[in-house]
Each structure stands twice: as structure tokens, then as C-alpha cells.
Structure 1
Amino acid sequence: MNREALFDIAKTWFSGKGWTPHTFQLKTWTAFLQGKNGLLNAPTGSGKTYALWMPVVLDYIKKNPEYKTRHIPGLKAIWVTPLRALSVEIKQAAERVADDLQTGLTVGIRTGDTSATEKSRQKTKMPDLLVTTPESLHLMLATKGYEAVFKDCTAFIVDEWHELLGSKRGVQIELALSRLKTVAPKLRIWGISATIGNLEQAMEVLLGPESEAFQNKELVRAHIEKKIKVISIIPDKMDSYPWRGHMGLHLIDEVANIIKNSRTTLIFTNVRSQCEIWFQALLEKYPEFAGEMAMHHGSISRETRQWVEQAIRDEQLKAVICTSSLDLGVDFAPVETVIQIGGPKSVARFLQRAGRSGHRPGQESVIYFLATHAIELVEASALKRAVKETVVEDRIPYLNSWDVLVQYLVTLAVSDGFYPSAIYKEVKSTFCYQAMTESQWAWILNFITKGSQSLEAYDEYKKVEIEEDGRFKVNSRSVALRHRMQMGTIVGDAVMSVKFMSGGYIGSIEESFVSKLYPGDVFIFAGRKLELYRTKNMEVLVRKANPSAKAQHASWMGSRMTLSAQMGELIRTELYAANNEKASPELRALKPVFKQQQKESVVPDADEFLIETFKTREGHHILFYPFEGRFVHEALASLIAYRISLLTPITFSLAYNDYGFELLSDKQIAVAELLDNNLFTPEYLHEDLQKSLNATEIARRKFRDIAVIAGLVFAGYPGRIIKTKHLQSGSQLIFEVFRDYEPDNLLLQQAYRETFEHQLEEGRLIMALERIQNQQVVWKQCEKPTPFSFPIITDRLRERLSTETLAERIKKMTASYMKSN
């Protein structure tokens, strides 16, 4: 059957649904049927799923013209999704095409949610089309006889590739593909990505540089202009002194009105605790929303999440308060409106969330931005500009993730074993390990067989045996079981299951939160007030609490999101336009803030870098405003404090947010003298950072995750999870052994490298310092805190307030500062 006849089948199916194929869909079908690999870049809700399921089915029809009467069994396509929540919908899309065209093709799901019965069934008979996750894919590679399962596979599709790229889960995909290219020689590899800046590099990482797949590639772009309407929720009254901490709840009435006037509204928060607080606040003030409003985040039980997702589709809900758990690809046609609470910190995340509304080709997406404090309106203005100019962040891929490679090699050794010479070539063909040397490879092999130089005396680290024919193989059943239990690259705080004493699973919360509770304490979780009865074997047993009981909200250790580099640049551009008469509505609304800032200090221009100093009863404050994001400011604050201490003996307290950082001391700081001493030079940055930040301590914490991924420490069996503090102490002991006796250990070196590259963002730090060096430093000696400094000061206050509530204290401070005007 020629391509024209195949396309007729597809077009007839499309017209039966009342659709017409987009140009990008036709291009993708053509490229796939020509045997090409590639990357599809198209906006959310434009029909990306059918752009790749359709050619997979057409390819089967082409190879089997008698497809309606004769079925050829065996796995033909693998569709990898980063979220288990998306798998049901992707399966349904595949089934629509396969069933309507009477192909007889079966579709299955293989994720952590798949039942043991279904997994057992798949062992004997794999579905034709399989939807899975990176972790479940590696578990399949850990199964004996996997080569026979994959050998006839002709399609490998990675959905939401931008979400996996720039993470160790992306490295898992690279390694799995390096094996599958050998096992399944007819494999075609495709990625799907909506919001990403570095598309060419994204395709290179997926296909492998200089690989045959990369030589036969095609980048397909959907030139569909997705209309996105961004509306800022601007308060009627603007405080001259903005502060963060009230989570935007002062605008709850505006949010309620938006909910009432929309079919369905998704309300995105950045963290789970904020999600819980907003849900409770809306329910308390608007009890009529009961039954029409739900909550969705990663710690709520799977059954509840799936019910919420279906209820959105069926239009049973008016509003859902959620986190990034609903960021990606789930198709909710009824969603009319999206509200983003607080700065999303990245353009890509904002566009992704905006795309949840109007999730149909040609429909306009509507997203409201609710600032949790006044200066976040600058972010709103910057996001509007980003949407208009289609500015999207790059995703930076990982290099030399030795922990993931160690895990992968043990995976291969658990199944059928491997020969190092063959696997070396495959691993070396990936983007992540392209610069790996033979000596590094030898070290990795030595590590999995002997436990490296300093652990050779301990049998538990000798996981892989070398058989007579040179094959590397795991022969111990207990090693194999432990390895399968711990596969994956997502490492977080230990979680405990929350269950009613009478039975019934509610969700999971982190051990660090539960450890602060006593029996009888009441906390709010998943929209319920729960009383702690007791904890047992990583289970939190609860009962319903008295509705009037005083309760605290469950909290999670998830670190705060920080501004992306592009977002920081956009915010600086907007801020520099604050003095411009043609400023955006958001900046015009901030006039009281800017007026007060100008009165107390200055609103900097593009060629200026602002430093403020003032004295309060707390001591002497010095504030810097690079607008580079929290992580960069954390490192900069320590760096500058260290460099000042070299000039004069002094001790500082540090505070920082996404806009700037503060050094607080009981001694006055001679700023003029500091500026003469080249305080912002990028020279000696690495050495100064190591000394100022106690990089060893940060690397020690980073090493815990590396140790878990590489299998150096065991996180425990289901129901018998090892406590985080025990994991930490176990990994710290190994860290210290490596540091003292084996400093060239690759995993130890990786911990330091990831500390500087990913946590401290050293590259961004250098660029920030170079930019500051080219600006004119404006030093303002102020009488009192300024509007720009206020959010940073209140962030620090939150850490140590006692009986006075933060809101009361801030009200008094604001009144005091305004009185002297």
C-alpha cells in the first residue's frame, strides 16, 4: 500500500471526527513512514498525540495489508510519558485509532500503577502498543529475555521530552535507547515537545550525537499561533510596602468571581502546602463551592486524583486547586480558565499551565495571574511580554551522571547480563556519556564488581559477578530484588502513608512533617481535618478531627522554585521600564510602590546596579538587587559576605529571595571601601564559593541522592522504608570514606560537580557578576527599609517570629515606615 492510500485512510478517520489534519501532522506522518527519526514541536492542545499514534498504526497497515483479518502479534511501539496520570488518556487515543480502523492492535499500560495481574499477563503476551514511564521501561530491561520482547519494536515515542530533558530521568531514556537501538534495529525514535528553547540540542540528546538515528532526522514544527490571553488580577488598593507570605489570599473574592463565571477553572499553586491552604480558604469563605471544588496534588491518593481528572472531563467540578501534577498533557476540554497563584518562575511552566485552558486547536487559552505580593506584578508584566515575543527557556542536559550509569549496568546484569565491550560503545554513543574515557569506564566496572577501592573489603558492594565467558551478571536473588525495588532517579524525603484507623488510604506526607507531631495533634491534609492517633511502620493512623479544632496545614520539604535565567532577564527589562511612561498596566498599578521606592532610594535603570544600606533596631542592613533568582542569590550572598570578611572581621545574617539578597550585621559596613576592592569580580569565584558556602556540606547532602541512585544505600522495602535520617547518616559515612581515602572516586566528584552546576548555578553566577561589573553601582544610604527590601526582610522574619503573628508585625512595621513620610 503506497503512502497516498495510507493517508486516505487517516484523512477519512479524521473527517469522521469532524477534523482536518494539520500540516505538521501530515509532515510527521510522512517523515515517520519514510523511516526518519525526529522531534515534533507543537503547542499544547494542537493534536500532537495523533501526529504520532496515527503513523504507527499506518506503518502496521502498510506491512500487513490483510490487517483486518490477520493480526501479527508482538510489541510494535513504546510511548514513554513522564507522568503516570497521562497514561490512560494516551492509551485511549491509541485505542480510538486502532479500533476505529479495525486493526486488531492491542494497547496496554505499564507503570507503577499497573496491577500485578496485568504485569503477569504482559510477561506472556505483550500488547502491540505500550504506554510506559522511564522507570517502568528500565524495570522491563531488568527482566530476563527482554531482547526477545523488544526485537520487533519499530517506534519509540517520548512525550513531553522537555520535561525529561535536563533531569536524570532524561538520562534514563538516553541509556534505554542506547540498548534498544541495538536490540531493535528497525526502531524509529521520536520526541514530542511543546515549550522548549533549544530544540536542535533537545533532538541531539534524544537521538544521540553522531548516531545513525541523528543522521536520518527531521525537526517538525507546528506553525500554529496559540492565542494566550494573560489577565493580571490587580488589587484595588496597592500597599507601598509589599510583603510576601499571605499567599495572595487577600484577593480570594476576585478568584471566587472568576470561578463562578467559568465552566471549569484550574487554579495552579507552586507548592502543595499552598494548594491545601487555598482549598481550605475558599471552602471556608464560600461554602457553596462544597461538592463543586476539589484538590489535586502528588501526595493525594491515586484513586482520588483519577476521580478528580475524570470529574473535570465530565464537567462535574467548577474548580480544581492543583500543583504541577496537572501541568502536563491531560486533555481537559471543559477547562475554560486557568489561574496562576504567585510567579511560576519560568516562562515554559506558565505557557504549559495556560495551555490547560482552551485545550483544542484554534481555541484561545485564558490565564489569570494573581500576585502573592506587589512586586510579583513585575513578573506578570514580564510574562505578558514573553507570551507576545514567544521567549522560552532552554533545558540543559546532564553530563556524566555516573550514578545513573551504575544503576543501569546493574539493571542489565540483573536480567541477561552484559559484555562490557559492546555496552561501552552503546553508552558512549549517548549525549550524556559522549566524553567518557576508557579509564572512567573501567572504574565504573570495578565499582559494580568490587565496590571501588575503599569498599573492597565489604561483600555487600560486590553486586555483579564476572562469569567465565566475560559476561557481567548478578547471580544473587537478594541483590536483584533490592535493585528492582530501588530503581529510578527520583529521590525525595521518605513518605509515610496516611490512613484512617477504620481503613481507607488518604495519601502520603513526608516523614519530616510527621516527626514534629504528637498523638492528638490535628493537621489539615487533602481537604480534611485529621487527628493523629499514632505512627507505625511508616503509616500515619488518623481519625476525623473536630471541625472546630485548631489545626496546622501539612507542609512539604520541596524546595522553593527559583527564577529561570530567561525569567530573570525579562523581569530586569520590565523593571528598567518602570520609569517609562508607556509602562504596562501592571507597572502602572505599582506606581505607589515605585513612588515610595524612588522617595526612599531609587528604581534602577538598565545600566545601574542598586545597593541599599540602612539601620534598624535589628542592626545594619546592606541589600543588593541582581534579580537573578533565589539559588543565585543564595550563592551570591555567601560569596559577598565571605569577600567582605576578608577585608574586615565581621559576621552576617543572610536573607534572599528571587529579587535580591540582604547582609545583616551588628557592625556598620564601609560600602565605599568595599566597592574599591573589586567585590563583584568573577575571578577566583570557584575557590571563594568553596570557602564561603561550605561546599563540602552541600555536596554531602547532594551525595545522599547519588548514593541512593547508585545503590550504595538501600531505601528499604514497601512498608519498611528506612528513615531519611538513617539514609543520610549511611550516605554521609560513605561520603567521608571516599573523601578521606578515595578523592578521585567518580561518585564523590559528581556530588561536587552537581553542587556547583545545578544547585549553585555557577554558570549563571559568573554571567551575573560580569553583568554587574559592566553596570554603574548606585549606592543609596536610606533612612529606613525600602519597598524593594521589604519582601526580603519579611522572609527572614518568618523564620523566627514568636508570639506575634507575621501579619500583625508587618502591619506595625508598615504603619511605622509610612508615618515618617
Structure 2
Amino acid sequence: MLVAPTGAGKTLAGFLPSLVELSERTTKEKGLHTLYISPLKALAVDIARNLDAPIAGMDLAVTVETRTGDTPAHKRARQIQRPPDILLTTPEQLSLLLAHREAEGFFAGLRTVVLDELHALVTSKRGDLLSLALARVRRLAPEARTIGLSATVRQPDELRKYLVSQNPSASAKSGGISAPPMADLVVVKGGAKPDLHMLDIGRTLPLSGHTARHAMPAIYDLIRGHRMVLVFVNTRLQAEYTFQELWRLNEDTLPIALHHGSLDASQRRRVEAAMAAGQLRAIVCTATLDLGIDWGDVDLVINVGAPKGASRIMQRIGRANHRMDEPSKAYLVPGNRFEMLECRAALDAVEEAAQDTPDARLGAPDVLAQHVLGMACADAFDPLGLYEEIISAAPYASLSWEDFEAVVDYVATGGYALRAYERFAKILRGADGRWRVRDARVAQQYRMNIGTIIEATHIKVRLTRMLRSKPGTAIPRGGRVLGEIEEDFAETLTVGDTFLFAGEVLRFEGLSEDECLVTRAGPGTDPAIPSYAGAKFPLSTFLAARVRAIIADPFEWDRLPRQLSDYLAQQRRHSALPGERDLLVETFARAGRHYLTAFPFEGRLAHQTLGMLLTRRLERARLRPLGFAANDYGIAIWCTKDVSERAALSPGFMEALFDEDMLGDDLEAWLDESAMMKRTFRQCAVIAGLIERRFPGQKKTGRQVTISTDLIYDVLRRHQPDHLLLRAARQDAATGLLDVTRLGMMLRRIRGRITHRALDRVSPLSVSVMLEIGRERVYGEGADEILAEAEAELLQEALG
């Protein structure tokens, strides 16, 4: 395990042992020597380019190739027969290689596995899939060593366990609890401290909103004053908006580009090539460029919006001056006053080199089901042998034999409630006791549907030209693909609607099979921006704790911008501020409604779940809640009955309302009827192969997948409530979309520490979350003006 600062050269260091061995290899020795695994396709391509120089400089006869989803099929087939010396690929492609009939011969001569940006791989289901793949690689190539590379690690021991075989059954036989095996650790200290600042634009920031429209002129000036700038944003929606705003200001016609995951792959590659060649002055990008890309000419990173996590911001600012001896220069650009607090907490974390990488996770059962099917596609397997292999992977080290048997039974039958349907039977047991894939069709469907990244279903956006056939009619024809938008968004459009995508304002002309047909809209058209479902980062637990600490300590306020310290002082005068471990709850009446606001500072996901559970409790208390709104810092619930009065009459009301027991029956009851739970189950069903998204020559629409999984969900709930996939969905709900684990930690933290203030009007702090009410679909300049008007009205009311 090699931990080193960004720009220290750790990736090339990881390849050094391989280059030494390959330089000494005889011409008779052929086959795959080194396997490099990257979380990003772009990173694999970039590393391949960077390896060319040392290989050419040492005059080595070494072949280097990449293998990603973009690699042509004929090249992938050739790689199986004649593998390169060094293959750079992704976790999904590794699993596909291992499921191939010729996997044993392909990996037999493997000597080194290099895992780059390991911290980004191990904290998700993708990391679970990779851990299982590594367990199989260790069996096929027992002589191979594994090298993990990472720049940002809070708990290196978790990553060290991930790199080696755990063998829990061996330690159990020895009769004692021994320390888990770990890889050797090499930590490289040093590196220049980053030059990081919060951008001061000299004006008061709003209390809500995330567009940072007020800062766009200052961001454009920074681009003009630097050679090459990466402008990071947190969502694809923000990327489109920021790119459009910068082009609106671009009087110098500077080459500014856009890069996010929904753009067409060829467009992303063109942007990356142009950046590498020094042809661009700036790229507006999302997390697609967070990791490892080595563009030495980038001399400034700008992060628009709150960083959400200390490790993420350190990773991003490391893209600037990508050399160990030069400080990375970066600016944080808060979108509102609360994001100023987050930025201050992130600045402190970077100064201390503190990290907030998530803890290691237990392996997901739906991922294990996918892997079991993949191993059957490669060759018949003996269940005991496969079990021993699986528990050597760190995330699955505690997997019991009974749980493993349940997974195999699921792959073989679909589970007790579905075993009557042949289509769910993927593997068959032979007379020799070994399991085999049922037929070639099942193997083909496995290969087409591999992976754990389940995003909202997308359809292609094709820029067409309109041909007039008869008076008053037009037919869209031809044109190039710009990228993909989410199917749900496309289905809300009617002909003539406009939206912003790929940096252009487009006019919707209709849907054709799996394509959204568009033309360019006329100048001055007001767009509705696609609301992408993915990539809404929650505030990390680590930064949330730092934000609470800053709010609770007035001595810390001296380091805050004046507008922010004044705002906190106003809140303290009019109501109260929460202690570092406390929860502030405010109740007040406004415009004929009764409001309850609370400030846990635990992130939007946990707050949305809390809002749903609190509204159920308030309904039972006959306070008639009408709805709630949430952001990263707090929630607001509005009722028709007086919450302040109920709290005054029942002294223990607030403690009971926020009691941890809401995560029992209330949570179960809500999960049973929640659309969110069905969505989580849908993702598990796709990963586990219960429902296939892709078939030879066709692809299911998101609506078809939804209908199929919703029907199965209802059947399983009635007839097999302990089904493997229902358990997997509940496990996901705890840490994923619902963030139940974090909510539980918060409820335990605030027990006996709730500060309730019954107010006669809204407080300054409550204004921020009140502005979230009814603004989900509003975005852009008009939205900022609406928010500004609402903020002015609420603040005037709050401050009397």
C-alpha cells in the first residue's frame, strides 16, 4: 500500500517493479504480466499515455493497452488471444475477463496488480465487485503481488486488508482471534502545502441557492488571469448552468469546455485531448475529472459550491500544479452563506491535512449474486471452493456459509417465491455437485448487464435538422448525438419546450424510439435545465461536525467573513444557536401555518428521511402536517395545528418526537410504502441479475424496468419478506438513498440535548431552510430573483 501526496509520482512508482521485471524477461516469456485497475476510463487512457515516455526512454519492448467499455469488440477479442504485457482497465472489465472461458490461461502468468486511487474504489458496491474479482485473480495467479495507490487515506489499515487474502476460516481453525492479514504500508511524507482560499466577491451572499451566479464575473476574471483552469461543480445540472453563464461573459472568446458523465463519450475524449494538448483555458467539470488525470499545465482549480467533503476537495485541488514541489492553487466559491461555513470547515481540514474517507463496508449480497453467476460462466464451480475464495475478500470475510448458500440458491432459482419461473434459474447443479451456467443465453445476458453503477435510465439526445414536408408540418432528420439525458425528464417535455444541454439551448422536437430529437433554439430563449437525478453529494459526517463546532464557538467567528458572523449573532439574539452535540428545534406560526424547523447538520439524505418519519409522528399526534423541505443543514415541517402549544402542554413532547425508536416500526412502515424503497430494490434487482436492462439487439426502457421490478417487489413482500434482494435493499437503505445509519447516529447524539425555542416569528436560521420550500423545480436567473425576494421578505420579518 503506497500512500503519497498528489503529484509525487506514485502511479509510475507502482509500475516500476513491472518495468524492471519486463526489461529482464526473455523473448520466450509472453502473456499478461501487469494488470492496472482504475476507477475511471479517462484515467486508464491517461496513464497509458504517460507510460509511453519511460518505456520509449528505456527502449523496452513492452506492449501497453487499455481495455474499457469504449474499446472496440475486435480489439477486446484479440486481447484474449494475444494479451499485452501491461493491460490498463476498469473493475467491470476485470470481472468480464474473469467470466471468460479462457480466464485461467489468460491470468496464469500475471505477476502484478496495480490498483490506482484505491480510496475511490473500496467505499461502494463497485469496490465489493473488485474485491471478489481480486480473490479470483489470487487463485488463478497465486504468485502475483497487489499494489494499492492512494493520495487521500484516513484509515490505511482498511485498504491494507483489502489488498491481501483474509483467510478467516484458517484463523478460526487455529482457535484464536488473530490480527487480520495486511499489506505492507509505505507512506511518503512532504509535498508543498496547497494555496487555498475562499473567493471574496465583496457582496452579501444569499441564504439559499447553489448557482453562485453572483460569483460568475469573478470566476471569469480568474480564468482570464491563468493559463489553464479546472472549474469543479457538484452536479451535472450545475455544470450546464455554470458553463452557460461563463460563455455569456466570455467577451474574449476564450476556449472554455464542458465535461460531465452525460455527454457523449467522443465529446468527452475530444475535451480531454484538447486539455492535454494545452488548447483550452478552462473546463467546467464534475466528479468525472476528480481523480488522477495528469495535466501539468493546470495552474488553478476553482470549486463552485460547497466542497461537501475534505477528502474530495483535497483530491480536486491536487489537479492544479500536479507536481509535488509546487503548491496547488485553488479557490472555494460558496453559493450561499451556509456554504461559507462549509468552506471555512474545509479550509481548516486542508490546513490540518485531515481526511473524511468513509469507513470500510460489508460486502453487498446483490453484488455477490452477480459474481457467483460470473464464475459459473467461466467454468463449473464447487460451492465449498468458491465459498473459501469469496471469504478471502475483505468485504466478505464475515460471510457465513448459510448466507452464501442463500445467494447460490437465489442465482439458481430466483428464491423461494420465484422458483416456479424458469427464467429466474440461471445456474444448474450437475451430478458431480458442481454448478454450471444454464445455457449460452444466460452467459451472454450476464456479460451485457455486468456492473454496479445503476444510474437513472438515459436516452440519447440527437441534434436534428427539420425538413418541411407539407405546409405546417416538419420532420426531424439525421444529425449527431450530443449525449444523454434522463428518460424521466424527456418524458415531461412537450414539442417546443427548451432545455440546456451540452452547453447549448435546445428545442425539443419529439421522441423517437430511444432518442430525444432536438434542434437549436433561437437566441434569447429561456431554457429549462435537465434535473439530473445523480451526483447530489451529501455533506460528509466529518465536515458536518466541524460546521457544528464553528457555530457553537463564538471565538471561531472571528475567522469567518463579517456577513456570516453577523448572521450568527442575529440568530443568537433572536433565538439560540445549537451546541456542538445539540439539536436546535424552533416552532413558530406564519401565514396561517404552524412550522417546526430543526438543524441536525447531517446532510440532505438523512434530513429527507428524518422529515418523512417526523411527519408520520406528527400525523399520529393529530397536528396535521402538510409537508416538509430539507437541505444539508436542516428541515422545515409545516402543519395546520399549533406545534408550540402542544410542546408547552407536553414537556417531553420534543424528546419523544425525536426518539431513536422512530427507526423501528415507523421506519419499517414507511419503507413498506415508500417509492424510495422500490427504487432501491430496483437497483439491487438489476445488479443481482433478476431483471436485465440490456438484451441482444435491444435495451429495456426505464419504465419497463420499473414496472417489472415493482411487480416482483410486491410479490416478494407478500410471499417471501426475507428474500435476499429485500434484505439487500434494506442494507442499501441504511447507508445509501435514505442514510438511516447516519440518522441513527444523530438521534443517539442528541438524546437529552434538544434545545426548543417557541418563537413568535421566523428566526434568521430558519429562513435558510424555509427558502427550500417549493423550489425543487426552479433553477437559473429567474429562480435566483424569486429566492432573493422571498429571502428579503423573510429576513425583514425575522429581524423585526
Q: What TM-score comes out, normalization by structure 1 length?
A: 0.89
- Say whether the 8 Å CA contact 2:128–2:363 is kept in structure 1: no
Q: Within 5 A, what are the aligned runs for 1:320-469?
A: 320-469=283-432
- Aligned partner of 1:628 among 602, 607, 612: 602
- Aligned partner of 1:790 among 728, 751, 767: 767
**CA deviation map 1:70-118 (0-9, x unaligned):** 3621100100001001111211233333332233111111110111231
Separation in structure 1 between the aligned mates of residue 239 and residue 216 of structure 2, nearest angstrom = 13
Structure 1 residue 625, shift from structure 2 partner: 1.1
Structure 1 residue 761, shift from structure 2 partner: 2.9
Return 465-474 or 382-391, whichever deviates more.
465-474
Structure 1 residue 479, shift from structure 2 partner: 1.6
- Aligned partner of 1:53 among 12, 15, 23: 15
Runs of 5+ consecutive residues of structure 2 not aligned to the other structure: 171-178, 465-477
Structure 1 residues 155, 503: closer, same or farther in 2, change over 3 A? Answer: same
Give the match's secondary structure for 1:553: coil
Q: What one-letter code is carried by the residue in structure 2 that aligns with 1:409?
A: V
**CA deviation map 1:678-724 (0-9, x unaligned):** 33333463333323565754332211011111111111347732121
Structure 1 residue 149, shift from structure 2 partner: 0.5
Mapped pair 1:660 → 2:634: yes
Residue 223 of structure 1: aligned partner: 189
Separation in structure 2 between the aligned mates of residue 491 and residue 238 of structure 1, nearest angstrom = 40
**CA deviation map 1:516-572 (0-9, x unaligned):** 112333322111222333322212232333233343223311152211110110111
Mapped pair 1:232 → 2:204: no
- Aligned partner of 1:781 among 754, 758, 768: 758
Give the match's secondary structure for 1:457: coil
Structure 1 residue 623, shift from structure 2 partner: 1.0
**CA deviation map 1:650-693 (0-9, x unaligned):** 32411111111112111111234455243333346333332356
Return 677-686 or 141-150, whichever deviates more.
677-686
Structure 1 residue 752, shift from structure 2 partner: 1.5
Mapped pair 1:759 → 2:737: yes
Residue 709 of structure 2: aligned partner: 731
- Say whether the 8 Å CA contact 1:537–1:720 is kept in structure 2: no
- Say whether the 8 Å CA contact 1:358–1:364 is kept in structure 2: yes
Q: What one-letter code is carried by the residue in structure 1 that aligns with 2:497?
A: D
Return 745-754 or 139-148, whichever deviates more.
745-754
- Aligned partner of 1:617 among 584, 588, 591: 591
Structure 1 residue 471, shift from structure 2 partner: 3.0
Structure 1 residue 740, shift from structure 2 partner: 1.4
Q: What one-letter code is carried by the residue in structure 2 that aligns with 1:265?
A: V
Structure 1 residues 817, 139: closer, same or farther in 2, change over 3 A? Answer: closer
Separation in structure 2 between the aligned mates of residue 561 and residue 794 of structure 1, nearest angstrom = 20
Give the match's secondary structure for 1:288: coil
Residue 715 of structure 1: aligned partner: 693
Residue 6 of structure 1: aligned partner: none
Separation in structure 2 between the aligned mates of residue 264 and residue 801 of structure 1, nearest angstrom = 32
Separation in structure 1 between the aligned mates of residue 102 and residue 518 of structure 2, nearest angstrom = 45
Separation in structure 2 between the aligned mates of residue 307 and residue 113 of structure 1, nearest angstrom = 14
Structure 1 residues 647, 393: closer, same or farther in 2, change over 3 A? Answer: same
- Aligned partner of 1:205 among 159, 162, 173: 162
Separation in structure 1 between the aligned mates of residue 749 and residue 405 of structure 2, nearest angstrom = 42
- Say whether the 8 Å CA contact 2:5–2:190 is kept in structure 1: yes
Structure 1 residues 215, 433: closer, same or farther in 2, change over 3 A? Answer: closer
Aligned sequence identity (%): 32
Separation in structure 2 between the aligned mates of residue 352 and residue 700 of structure 1, nearest angstrom = 34
Residue 11 of structure 1: aligned partner: none
Give the match's secondary structure for 2:509: strand
Separation in structure 1 between the aligned mates of residue 59 and residue 378 of structure 2, nearest angstrom = 36
Structure 1 residues 760, 818: closer, same or farther in 2, change over 3 A? Answer: closer
Q: Spell out structure 1 runs of 4+ moving beyond 6 A.
A: 211-214
Mapped pair 1:79 → 2:51: no
- Say whether the 8 Å CA contact 1:238–1:593 is kept in structure 2: no
- Say whether the 8 Å CA contact 2:581–2:749 is kept in structure 1: no
**CA deviation map 1:752-775 (0-9, x unaligned):** 222124333333223212322253
- Say whether the 8 Å CA contact 2:334–2:340 is kept in structure 1: yes
Structure 1 residue 159, shift from structure 2 partner: 0.8
Q: What one-letter code is carried by the residue in structure 1 that aligns with 2:652?
A: D
Structure 1 residues 340, 728: closer, same or farther in 2, change over 3 A? Answer: same
- Aligned partner of 1:146 among 103, 106, 118: 103
Separation in structure 2 between the aligned mates of residue 467 and residue 632 of structure 1, nearest angstrom = 47
Q: What one-letter code is carried by the residue in structure 1 that aligns with 2:245?
A: A
Structure 1 residues 674, 626: closer, same or farther in 2, change over 3 A? Answer: farther
Structure 1 residues 137, 750: closer, same or farther in 2, change over 3 A? Answer: same
Structure 1 residue 582, shift from structure 2 partner: 6.3
Mapped pair 1:167 → 2:141: no
Q: Within 5 A, what are the aligned runs for 1:465-484?
A: 465-484=428-447
Structure 1 residue 647, shift from structure 2 partner: 4.1
Structure 1 residues 475, 813: closer, same or farther in 2, change over 3 A? Answer: closer
Mapped pair 1:125 → 2:82: yes
Return 135-144 or 528-537, whichever deviates more.
528-537
- Say whether the 8 Å CA contact 1:494–1:724 is kept in structure 2: yes
**CA deviation map 1:599-646 (0-9, x unaligned):** 432334436532222221151111111111112222223333444444
**CA deviation map 1:250-293 (0-9, x unaligned):** 11111111111111111111101111111111111224235x11
Separation in structure 2 between the aligned mates of residue 378 and residue 674 of structure 1, nearest angstrom = 35
Return 409-418 or 78-87, whichever deviates more.
409-418
Give the match's secondary structure for 1:583: helix
Separation in structure 1 between the aligned mates of residue 709 and residue 221 of structure 2, nearest angstrom = 51
Return 274-283 or 199-208, whichever deviates more.
199-208
Separation in structure 2 between the aligned mates of residue 93 and residue 214 of structure 1, nearest angstrom = 36
Give the match's secondary structure for 1:50: helix
Structure 1 residue 315, shift from structure 2 partner: 2.1
Separation in structure 2 between the aligned mates of residue 539 and residue 581 of structure 1, nearest angstrom = 53
Residue 575 of structure 1: aligned partner: 551
Residue 747 of structure 2: aligned partner: 769
Structure 1 residues 815, 111: closer, same or farther in 2, change over 3 A? Answer: closer
**CA deviation map 1:431-456 (0-9, x unaligned):** 22222222222222222223322212
Mapped pair 1:747 → 2:725: yes
Count how many residue pairs are aligned between Structure 1 and Structure 2.
Answer: 771
Separation in structure 2 between the aligned mates of residue 607 and residue 420 of structure 1, nearest angstrom = 49
Separation in structure 2 between the aligned mates of residue 452 and residue 687 of structure 1, nearest angstrom = 26
- Say whether the 8 Å CA contact 2:191–2:324 is kept in structure 1: no
Residue 458 of structure 2: aligned partner: 495
Structure 1 residue 388, shift from structure 2 partner: 1.5
Q: What one-letter code is carried by the residue in structure 1 that aligns with 2:280?
A: L
- Say whether the 8 Å CA contact 2:15–2:114 is kept in structure 1: no
Separation in structure 2 between the aligned mates of residue 289 and residue 783 of structure 1, nearest angstrom = 53
Structure 1 residues 713, 275: closer, same or farther in 2, change over 3 A? Answer: same
Give the match's secondary structure for 2:690: coil
Mapped pair 1:313 → 2:290: no
Q: State the superposition RMSD in angstroms.
A: 2.4
Separation in structure 1 between the aligned mates of residue 165 and residue 515 of structure 2, nearest angstrom = 44
Give the match's secondary structure for 2:689: coil
Structure 1 residue 422, shift from structure 2 partner: 1.3
- Aligned partner of 2:6 among 32, 44, 65: 44
Q: What one-letter code is carried by the residue in structure 1 that aligns with 2:272?
A: E
Structure 1 residues 184, 43: closer, same or farther in 2, change over 3 A? Answer: same
Residue 519 of structure 1: aligned partner: 495
Return 195-204 or 647-656, whichever deviates more.
647-656
Q: Within 5 A, what are the aligned runs for 1:279-290?
A: 279-290=243-254
Separation in structure 2 between the aligned mates of residue 676 and residue 80 of structure 1, nearest angstrom = 55
Residue 650 of structure 1: aligned partner: 624
Separation in structure 2 between the aligned mates of residue 246 and residue 168 of structure 1, nearest angstrom = 29
